[in-house]
Amino acid sequence: MERLQKILAQAGVASRRKCEELILAGKVQVNGETVTVLGTKADPSVDSITVEGRNIGAEKKVYLLLNKPKGVITSATDPQGRKIVTDYLKGVRERVYPVGRLDYDTEGLLLLTNDGDFAHLLTHPKHHVPKTYLATVKGVPHGTDLDKLKKGIMLDDGMTHPAEVEYHDVDPDNKEATIMITIHEGRNRQVRRMFEAIGHPVQRLKRIAFGDLYLGTMKRGLFRHLTKAEIEGLKQSAKTAEKRSKR
């Protein structure tokens, strides 16, 4: 017997947190009975479990890396009919979900999977898996401005963790600079808000790394399957980041 949200996550329905929301919303049935209590246990080898009328079952685990284009919603569905990341996954039969989010106006490395435990491991706040971006900002920040980001900067939802920041490129003709920044949190629009706080709003933003996994030269809109070594590397990144956060 396992908790229902864990069974759903392991079956690739969604992340564990999202599965809890599905249960609370009355969208999960066990043996024909709607379950709305978190912590309810079931046996997937014996019980009939459905989500929105669809039977769940053992599904092949899939781990994908997509180079998300700008102007695409990081979601498996969108009521407004806008372009979503799963539109780019031609040939993928499994029902996968994004691991974390990238803003509509942000491009770059996005992970998708149907392994709820894997997604939970990489997105749980206690793990602080590092994520690296190239941020092209208005103007050229002074070194003292970047030092503020390195030490941590106060936002409206609290102080950020220290970031790793360095100049990547400077374009004096267009009066802009591209900064490489690595953060260890996942707040909403965090990188954009950090640069706004030092007076250099972001004009273009691209995620180039998640843990030790790099985007490389993959073209926008394309995806590939992760290797076993990359999957294990991401898991190790989460474990290493958790140990670092406890120091």
Residue whose entry in the numeric block shows the structure tokens 């004009």 = 203
Largest CA distance in the chain: 67
CA 142 to chain CA centroid, Å, is: 30
Angle between helices 190-197 and 143-151 (to 10 degrees): 130
Distance between CA 199 and CA 141 in Å, rounded?
Answer: 8
Q: Which residues does 183 contact at the CB level (< 8 Å), separation at least 6? A: 130, 131, 133, 160, 161, 163, 190, 191, 194
211 burial level (CB within 10 Å; 0-12, 13-18, 19+): buried
Distance between CA 70 and CA 102 in Å, rounded?
Answer: 9
- Mark whether 103 is an active-site residue: yes
* DSSP string for residues in 128-149: ---EEEEEEEEB---HHHHHHH
Q: Which of 43, 47, 103, 147 is flagged as catalytic?
A: 103
Contact 202, 136 (CB under 8 A): yes
Return the sign of the alpha-carbon dihedral for residues 158, 162, 163, 165: positive
Residue whose entry in the numeric block shows the structure tokens 């909403």 = 188
Active site residues: 103
